[in-house]
């Protein structure tokens, strides 16, 4: 890339703090956004999404000491994104797997006028620049970060014996999953870097860019300690429960909110109340009245057809990055499965029509086996348990459990969360944000 026509040297003002006596990374410069007038960092405005340079800010100060900063002239390498505008416009115009916000944001940036971006910075830490005269400079973090997809995948391919060239050729399909504030880095900066390299690297296919998520109605702020840390969340709650909530209630198409009340209600009402309850009531019935042996039965063609269609529909939605819709389809089927169990009344037919009862339990076992596989991409840990109980393979195709199969010891798939959790976690969050 350094040898191409798209990288050039330019003398520019670099943010410098006389108090800290150091050049500052863009994100360590704060000030007023010249576009929306809101408080912002020097790399990007979180409020309006504008990609910035520190010298564009109004009243810039050092984020470390809070003192006003100065700017010192320094030579840096720049990538001529402006020279790639035609290719970038073609990329977004031909995009078929980008979310609407990605298309909208990218067109806005392009229409506002594409600006060239720095590839290097005067910082002591970071990736060294392999170029004479740049020994004391490092690669600008966003150029380094997005190109990390290329280098990290090469390392992964070498470790796993996979074909790196095949991964980055035209027949591959690449997904980039991120929040909407990172859209321009994946739809403009990354493609510009890949194109400028000239090696024909594969450009983004699917831009899976989510909206924002708030916490109990407020913006998450780690600096103000108003946040829930991942290690705390997974340390106390079922990983599949966490995954389920963020998939079903996540900000796929619009901003969303995390609240402890909704988290507990989601777990108890849907994950445990619908899915876990269907598994427990069906398999426990078999254990109690049939000594854990799956009864013989005839496969219901209508149920079989619904399962086949669900594999197809779910697969297509996953490929589109529409995980929320995919999970919604599966849980619609789970609700139908519970209704089927209620309608067939095996607790009555057990003594009045044993053949019908056996058939009902056989059908329920088949539904459970297929649900475990269908839910594996979303709820991998609980699915692994169920697949083990029923001795089915986690392969993306309809599954079956033969009559006569002996169930092992079955445990509850999910534990109910006490409502007191809501008050406890809300109080904990409040205290942390006050310290």
Question: Within 10 A of 381 (CB to CB), how many other CB atoms are there?
Answer: 13
Alpha-carbon distance 123 to 313, whole Å? 50
Average pLDDT over residues 191-205: 93
- 96 within some domain: yes
- Residue with token string 């995954």: 243
248 lies in the same domain as 204: no
The SS3 assignment for 378 reads coil
Q: Is residue 404 part of a domain?
A: no
pLDDT tens, position by position, 389-411:
999 999 999 999 999 999 999 99
- The last residue of one of the domains, among 390, 408, 426, is 390
- Would 164 be classed as within a structural domain? yes
Q: How do 29-32 and 58-62 pair as beta strands?
A: antiparallel
As a whole number of angstroms, the distance between CA 40 and CA 181 comes to 13
Instruction: Give the residue-averaged pLDDT of 143-160.
Output: 94
Helix (H) or strand (E) holding 360: helix 354-374
Q: What is the model's pTM? A: 0.84
Contact 48, 86 (CB under 8 A): no
Grade residue 126 by pLDDT with cuts at 50, 70 and 90: confident
Tokens 């329920």 identify what position?
A: 364
Domain enclosing residue 248, as ranges: 230-390
- 46 pLDDT exceeds 90? no
Are residues 273 and 317 located together in one domain of the fold?
yes
Q: pLDDT class for 366, splitting at 50, 70, 90?
A: very high
Which pLDDT band holds residue 12 (cuts at 50, 70, 90)? confident
Residue 233: the pLDDT is 92
Predicted local distance difference test score (pLDDT) of residue 80: 96
Helices 380-390 & 239-248, crossing angle to 10 degrees?
Answer: 120
pLDDT attached to residue 356: 96
Q: Which of 373, 390, 407 is the last residue of a domain?
A: 390
Model confidence pLDDT, tens digit, residues 374-390: 999 999 999 999 999 99
- Please indicate, yes or no, whether residues 33 and 130 belong to a single structural domain of this protein: yes
Residue 203 has pLDDT above 90, yes or no: yes
Total number of domains constituting the chain = 2
SS3 assignment, position 219: coil
> Confidence class of residue 262 from pLDDT cuts 50, 70 and 90?
very high
322 assigned to some structural domain: yes
According to DSSP, residue 218 is labeled B
Q: Which of 176, 210, 244 is the last residue of a domain?
A: 210
**Could you give the residue ranges of the DSSP H alpha helices within 174-224?**
183-184, 190-197
Q: Which residues pair with 118 in a beta bridge?
A: 78
What letters, b where the CB count within 10 A reaches 16 and e where it falls short, cover 281-310?
ebbebbeebbebebbebeebeebbeebeeb
The number of residues making up the chain comes to 435
Tell me the C-alpha distance between 106 and 94, whole Å.
13
What CATH number should be reported for the domain holding residue 312?
Answer: 1.10.730.10
Q: What is the DSSP string of 44-111?
A: B-TTT--B--GGGSEEEEETTT--B-EEEEEEEEEE-GGGGHHHHHHHHHT-SEE-HHHHHHHHHHHH
Q: Which residue has the higher pLDDT, 72 or 124?
A: 72
**Whether the predicted pLDDT of 435 surpasses 80:** no
Query: Can you give the pLDDT at residue 280?
Result: 96
One domain for residues 206 and 241: no
Clarify whether residues 177 and 251 are in a common domain: no
Task: Categorise residue 144: left if φ over 0, alpha if ψ from -120 to 50, beta otherwise.
Answer: alpha
Task: Let me know if 253 is exposed, middle or buried by CB neighbors in 10 A (0-12, 13-18, 19+).
Answer: middle
Question: Does 245 score more than 90 pLDDT?
Answer: yes
Q: Are residues 284 and 381 in the same domain?
A: yes
Asked which of 5-14, 71-80, 123-132, 152-161 is least confident by mean pLDDT, the reply is 123-132
């Amino acid at each position: 890339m350094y040898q191409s026509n798209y990288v050039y040297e330019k003398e520019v003002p670099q943010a410098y703090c006389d108090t800290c006596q150091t050049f500052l990374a863009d994100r360590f410069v704060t000030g007023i956004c010249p576009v929306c007038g809101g408080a912002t960092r020097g790399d990007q405005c979180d409020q309006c999404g504008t990609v910035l340079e520190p010298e564009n800010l109004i009243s810039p100060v050092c984020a470390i000491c809070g003192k006003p900063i100065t700017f010192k002239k320094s030579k840096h390498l720049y990538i001529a994104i402006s020279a790639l505008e035609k290719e970038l416009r073609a990329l977004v115009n031909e995009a078929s797997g980008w979310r609407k916000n990605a298309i909208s944001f990218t067109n806005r940036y392009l229409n506002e006028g594409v600006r060239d971006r720095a590839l290097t910075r005067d910082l002591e830490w970071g990736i060294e620049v392999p170029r004479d005269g740049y020994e004391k400079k490092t690669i600008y973090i966003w150029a380094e970060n997005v190109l990390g997809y290329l280098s990290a995948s090469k390392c992964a391919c070498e470790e796993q014996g996979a074909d790196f060239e095949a991964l980055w050729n035209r027949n591959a399909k690449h997904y980039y999953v991120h929040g909407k504030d990172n859209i321009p880095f994946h739809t403009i900066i990354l493609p510009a870097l890949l194109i400028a390299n000239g090696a024909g690297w594969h450009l983004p296919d699917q831009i899976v860019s989510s909206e924002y998520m708030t916490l109990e109605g407020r913006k998450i702020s780690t600096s103000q300690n108003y946040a829930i840390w991942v290690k705390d969340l997974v340390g106390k709650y079922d990983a599949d429960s966490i995954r389920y909530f963020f998939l079903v209630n996540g900000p796929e198409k619009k901003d969303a909110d995390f609240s402890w009340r909704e988290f507990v209600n989601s777990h108890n009402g849907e994950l445990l109340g619908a899915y876990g309850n269907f598994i427990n009531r069906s398999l426990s019935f078999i254990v109690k009245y049939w000594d854990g042996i799956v009864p013989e039965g005839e496969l219901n063609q209508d149920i079989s057809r619904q399962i086949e269609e669900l594999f197809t529909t779910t697969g297509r939605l996953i490929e589109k990055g529409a995980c929320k819709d995919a999970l919604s389809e599966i849980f619609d089927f789970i609700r139908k499965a519970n209704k089927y169990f209620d309608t067939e009344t095996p607790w009555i037919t057990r003594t009045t029509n044993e053949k019908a009862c056996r058939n009902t339990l056989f059908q329920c076992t088949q539904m459970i086996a297929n649900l475990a596989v269908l839910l594996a991409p979303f709820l991998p840990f609980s699915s692994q348990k169920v697949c083990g109980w029923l001795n089915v393979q986690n392969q993306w195709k309809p599954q079956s459990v033969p009559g006569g199969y002996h169930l092992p010891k079955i445990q509850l798939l999910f534990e109910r969360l006490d409502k007191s959790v809501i008050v406890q976690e809300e109080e904990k969050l409040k205290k942390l944000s006050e310290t």
